[in-house]
Structure 1
């Protein structure tokens, strides 16, 4: 049963998010405040993004800070732009239309943090990494 592994992965992701958010909270950012970016145009976001393989056989994650495109996300500027157009909802990102094989090797993507001062928790499982990329574009390309 994969429930213990899923719970462990979720706990690890939540703990990492809290550690990454602590410096921002200490600097005066956080829910209800303008944060360090101070943007009112809907582009202000601090997200911890993860992608994990079937039954959590592997997991990787990265912090994405918008609009500054801070962090270690390899396509940060494009990801911030895509999320801005989708009003911070990874499920509404236009994606990158391309064909994928029908191979079943599921991957789960998660986004946790805040966007424009509101909490964001999103997760979805895709049939394979290509389907994830086609659906979410640059957001989970790290």
Structure 2
């Protein structure tokens, strides 16, 4: 009986890498959101949004990949009237239904591929006179869309 050691030295690394990627995907898709404590690389343009009661707005960004070197897209979503976002009316309706609490958006059923391609969603702004700060990293864009609806749908 012969034993080939050349293949056995590379196979465990591939399996370990695959298992690690799956574990990271599961950890990244955890539903808990956290408040931003570090300064946002692209701070919300508060001066453009204005102030006052009834002036609901969020500066939303989506970063694909590593937060430091990834591709970041952002827009100012205004809801009085809905504008500045590809799906402004739908995003504003979703925010109104949860009183601006992004963590309360109902999770949609979706079949998402188990591919780890992290996306980080951030929102800063004002909703009904309250400051909104939200950041969450999801395993991929499909999981983000299932958890946040239209609010971070900036690519479409």
What TM-score, normalized by structure 1, do the two folds share? Answer: 0.74
C-alpha separation in 1, matches of 2:80 and 2:109: 25
Q: Within 5 A, what are the aligned runs for 1:100-139?
A: 100-139=112-151
The offset of 1:23, in angstroms, is 3.9
1:99 maps to 111
Asked if the contact 1:90/1:122 (under 8 Å) is kept, the reply is yes
C-alpha separation in 2, matches of 1:88 and 1:74: 19
C-alpha separation in 2, matches of 1:96 and 1:102: 17
Are 1:78 and 2:97 counterparts?
Answer: no
The offset of 1:115, in angstroms, is 0.5
Structure 1 stretches of 5 or more lacking a match? 1-6, 39-43
Name the CA shift for 1:24/1:134 in 2 (closer, same or farther; >3 Å). closer
1:59 maps to 72
C-alpha separation in 1, matches of 2:150 and 2:59: 14
What TM-score, normalized by structure 2, do the two folds share? Answer: 0.68
Name the CA shift for 1:95/1:139 in 2 (closer, same or farther; >3 Å). farther
2:3 maps to none
Higher RCO, 1 or 2 (CA under 8 Å, sep at least 6)? 2
1:3 maps to none
The offset of 1:24, in angstroms, is 4.2
Aligned residues: CA RMSD: 1.7
Query: 1:18-63, CA deviations, whole angstroms, 9 ceiling, x for partnerless residues?
Result: 3xx31444xxxx2xx32xxx4xxxxx41100000012132100011
Which is higher, the Rg of structure 1 or of structure 2?
2
Asked if the contact 1:46/1:63 (under 8 Å) is kept, the reply is yes
2:5 maps to none
Deviating 4+ runs (over 6 angstroms)? none
